[in-house]
Amino acid sequence: MAIESDLRARMEAIAARYPHRLTALIPVLYMVQKEYGYVTKAGMELAADVLGTTPAYVDSVASFYTMLYRQPVGKYVLQVCKTLPCALMGANEVIAYLQEKLGIKPGETTSDRQFTLETVECLAACHVAPLMMVNDVYKVCLDRAKLDAILDECRHGSTPNPDEIYRSA
């Protein structure tokens, strides 16, 4: 299969950068996730073959890290910080509003596969709470209007632009 052949070549290129091939496992799993939208069984088997380890070991690593998805997720993964500083600044209201707007609970994906809602521990930007990440992009100082704008941006196919998190909002 052409996709697998190309993916194998890219995995080999990543592994070649490391003195010990197995050290490339996380970047290789990210590559699988980027290719398929989540870490597939076939992708883990290919990674094991390329890196010279067992599928069981690859599976154990993939299941440990929460940023590696083991099942399909939406095009936009909304990760809302729920730790105490964010909770005090309104994270629970953000989560409730997103649940209402999207019709899903944390851990679920919308039926159109556009959004997956997750709650996560500390995103390391308490000074701009409440906040979330949309895929890998920080969205900070959230309120209902900002959430509506973010959801509209995503629904229209835009890639969210990062907020400047190191200035007062």
**Could you tell me the residue ranges of all domains in the chain?**
1-64, 76-166
C-alpha torsion 141→144→111→134, nearest 10: -10
Handedness of CA 127, 132, 137, 143 (dihedral sign): negative
At the top level of CATH, the class of 1-64 is: mainly alpha
> What digits encode the pLDDT tens for the residues 121-165?
888 888 999 999 998 889 999 999 999 999 999 999 876 666 554
Q: Which pLDDT belongs to residue 168? A: 42
pTM greater than the 0.85 cutoff: no
Residues 6+ apart with CB under 8 A from 99: 105, 106, 117
Each residue's pLDDT tens digit in the chain (169 positions)?
Answer: 566 789 999 999 999 999 999 999 999 999 999 899 899 999 999 999 999 999 999 999 999 988 899 999 999 999 999 999 999 999 999 999 999 999 999 999 999 999 999 999 888 888 999 999 998 889 999 999 999 999 999 999 876 666 554 444 4
Question: How many other β-carbons are positioned within 10 Å of the β-carbon of residue 62?
Answer: 23
Q: Which pLDDT belongs to residue 163? A: 59
Residue 120 bridge partners (DSSP) = 81
Architecture of domain 76-166: 3-Layer(aba) Sandwich (3.40)
